[in-house]
A and B are shown apart, each in its own frame.
Chain A
Amino acid sequence: MLAYPFMQHAFAAGAIVAVLASVTGWFMVLRRETFAGHTLSVLSFPGASGAALAGLPLASGYFVFCALGGLAIAAGGRRNPQRQSAAIGVVGAAGFALGFLFLSLYGGVLESLESLLFGSFLGITGGQVWTLAAIAFAVLAYFAAVGRPLLFGSVDELVARTRGVPVRALHVSFLVVLGLAVGATAQITGVLLVFALLVAPAAAAQRLTPRVPLALALSLAIALAVTWGGLTLAYYTNRPVGFFVATLAFAVYLACRCWPKSSFATR
């Protein structure tokens, strides 16, 4: 299986995306910003169709639109959850409408519309792998720089603010980073299945342990197992990768939900 370069690329890209999605997803779940993450994934659609229209590489559209979407959502503020979720919904709807417009202006059917929505691991080039690696490096550098104050602001924004944590700046920058991670993950899993990798491993890991380093490691391990497992199954059955990744992620999440809370690794 790994003798083929396209499978090597798929495994490499899958590993990078697993790292990105599991770490970013862990903070997203902790911050209860899953809805924001979902909306950002929707913005991959106008991103890709806009890039196609402009004759640019699709990947650039993903990153630009998802990062801008993060800024747009951040502009809605975080202090009022109701207003924030309304703002996120509006951004998502506007993004989808824009994507539809780009698609009709583009004229034909976007050749890779199906893989845009549901993902494709099999056409990944070496260049794409390097782009993903660069994005992953930037995102991990961000978490290395602000991980501790971001954790403080995520669990207890009020106290963190009084202790001098720049919660507002962290909120904005996290949403941009989330946009980048979503844009990267969407290229592999497709727009509609981003969530399989972004939410399920992180939520399962949080379920298993409240220890932060251990939870991050578990989230990464689950994401990696799910991605590589999905790729392997897809290779041998000739069925869509997205289906296997999403199903495996869901199964792991379900198993962890059934696991008795806190019985594992609380010390």
Chain B
Amino acid sequence: MAAIELENASVSRGGRSVWARATLAVEPGEFVAVLGPNGAGKSTLLEALLGLLPLTSGRAVVHGEVGYLPQRHAFDSSTRVRGIDLVRLGVDGARFGVPLPWRNPYAARIAEAIRVVGAESFAKRAIGELSGGEQQRLLIAQALVGEPDLLFLDEPLDSLDLPNQLAVAALLDRIRGERSLTVLLVAHDVNPLLPHLDRVIYVAGGRVLSGRPEDVITTETLTELYQAPVEVLRTAGGRLVVVGQPDVHTHHGHAH
């Protein structure tokens, strides 16, 4: 059984069609990148799968619990709450009442989630004084601590420098193996992810295309999808480099 299925699914926002007739399936345990130009509807795809946005037609099915990390900005440096407390909110944060400070029934789960993301050394510091990469690890721990079957992340690498992008991508790949998670990740740049990907979903021109990276990230496919001259080069190390994507100049102009 597929972990995620879209069947002839269409979505519109404010009466305008975002993308239409999307059909795809993601197998359990796959590491999937959602790629495409800004405003094409990548975040919309996650929202539609989560049921936050109704489909105008077709069918979307997700099998299992989802841990979701929305697109975000970093915590302000004045946010004086510990990272570990933030992770705990991932277990019971939506529940009414007040936690008793001397009793934590989830201590073991929280410690495990923090260990998995390698955040032991800074989890007890205030979240606001941590670097973007450290904050991102704790947010991933927060999503993991609810013990989901799937992890949806919206541009988790966006605010990170290159070494941290590579580290977080590798971390997600490792967690996926340890916990047999299906990971669906919206990304602006495919390069830090390429060594880990099983599948890419390309959203462009009102269409959604899914397949193996080496089948989708080709000069022909992307030129057709973008309707602009895009070139895909293969480096000596076997990695794919996409040149000339039309959204390069609007690097931080996110459309929702």
Which A residues lie at the B interface, using CB under 8 A?
30, 32, 143-149, 151-152, 155-156, 158-160, 162-165, 206-207, 209-213, 215, 261-262, 266-267
Contacts and interface: CB of A to CB of B under 8 A. Distances in A.
A8 B69 CA distance: 53
Nearest to B85: A212
A205 to B, nearest CB: 9
Given A151-B81, A211-B82, A160 B93 contact: yes
Interface string B125-152: 1110100000000010010000000000
Contacts of A159: 68-70, 72, 139, 142
Contacts of A145: 96-97
Contacts of A32: 76, 78
A165 B94 CA distance: 5
B85 A158 contact: no
A163 B93 contact: yes
Interface of B: 50, 52, 68-70, 72, 75-76, 78-82, 85-86, 89-90, 92-99, 101, 124-127, 129, 139, 142
Contacts of B142: 159
A149 B81 contact: no
Given A155-B89, A266-B82, 19 more contacts: A143-B98, A147-B98, A148-B95, A148-B96, A149-B94, A149-B95, A151-B89, A155-B79, A155-B81, A156-B75, A159-B70, A159-B72, A162-B50, A164-B94, A165-B94, A206-B80, A215-B80, A262-B125, A267-B124
A163 B86 CA distance: 13
Nearest to B83: A210
A32 B95 CA distance: 23
Contact of B94 (A160, A212, A213, A266): A160
A148 B125 contact: no
B70 A262 contact: no
Given A152-B89, A262-B129, A212 B81 contact: yes
A114 B84 CA distance: 47
Contacts of A213: 101
Contacts of A211: 82, 85
B55 to A, nearest CB: 19
B80 A210 contact: yes
A56 to B, nearest CB: 35
B143 to A, nearest CB: 8
In terms of DSSP, what is the predominant structure of the interface of chain B?
A: loop
11 contacts: A30-B81, A147-B97, A155-B86, A159-B142, A206-B78, A211-B85, A212-B81, A212-B85, A261-B129, A266-B124, A266-B125
B75 A148 contact: no
B93 A152 contact: yes
A242 to B, nearest CB: 27
Contacts of B81: 30, 151, 155, 210, 212
B126 A210 contact: yes
A207 B126 CA distance: 10
A29 to B, nearest CB: 9
Contact of A207 (B68, B69, B80, B92): B80
Contacts of B98: 143-144, 147-148
Nearest to A217: B101
A12 to B, nearest CB: 25
A30 B93 contact: no
10 closest cross-chain pairs (CB), A and B: A210-B126, A152-B93, A213-B101, A147-B98, A206-B80, A164-B94, A210-B82, A152-B89, A210-B80, A163-B94
A165 B93 contact: yes
B70 A162 contact: yes
Contacts of B126: 210, 262, 266
A149 B80 CA distance: 17
Q: Among A144, A151, A210, which residue has the most Cβ atoms of chain B within 10 A? A: A210
Nearest to B68: A162
Which of A143, A152, A213, A262 counts the most B-chain CB atoms under 10 A from its CB? A152
Contacts of B95: 148-149
A72 B129 CA distance: 34
A155 B75 contact: yes
B107 to A, nearest CB: 14
Contacts of A30: 79-81
A155 B127 CA distance: 10
A32 B81 CA distance: 14
